[in-house]
Amino acid sequence: MKIGIYPGSFDPITLGHLDIIERASKLVDKLIIGVLINTGKNPVFSADERVRLIKKVLEEDLVHVKNVCVEKFEGLLVDFAQEKEAGIIVRGLRAVTDFEYELQIAQTNHKLFPNIDTVFLTTNLEYSYLSSSVVREIASFGGKIHEFVPGCVVSDVYDKYKEMRSV
């Protein structure tokens, strides 16, 4: 069985991620979305919240995709991949500026665990400008995020910022 991992921070999941998940799911028998617990980026959403949002998207937006699941992980991606018996890491490339960093990480991961290869999917042009940080910036000012995140998580993102403002 060909198992792939699509790792990331997903803080929060965007339509760009959703597009990659849908396309990557066709390349493997099973796709595990790996949500990094401590991203070092001080995430707005906890790992459990990020997993919950992705599960919601899988249930509401990707009902036709049956071979995808989501799990959080800590530590090295290659250790998680090994534990899950995955042979493929999937990463999205939005622009050439992503490439240098992604190449370095892919080569490092391959060196650490030669049985694993990274497959890059080019982000749909429609989402090439999109990132979770852009979504967070807009949401933090109460701007419209409807065209950037899956419909079923829009209110969760706004609620999070409301909750943060109220403390």
Residues designated catalytic: 17, 41, 94, 132
The answer to whether residues 150 and 15 touch, using CB atoms and an 8 Å cutoff, is yes
Least distance in Å: CB of 72 to ligand PNS? 11
Q: Which is nearer to ligand PNS, 17 or 160 (CB)?
A: 17
Residue count, binding to ligand PNS (CB under 6 A): 10
Two tokens, residue 24: 């990557």
First-to-last C-alpha distance (Å) of the chain = 47
**For the window 59-98, what string marks contact with ligand PNS as x by the rule CB under 6 A?**
-----------------xx---------------------
Tokens 């965007």 found at: 14
As a whole number of angstroms, the distance between CA 88 and CA 126 comes to: 25
State the residues that interact with ligand PNS by CB under 6 A: 7-9, 36, 39, 76-77, 105, 108-109
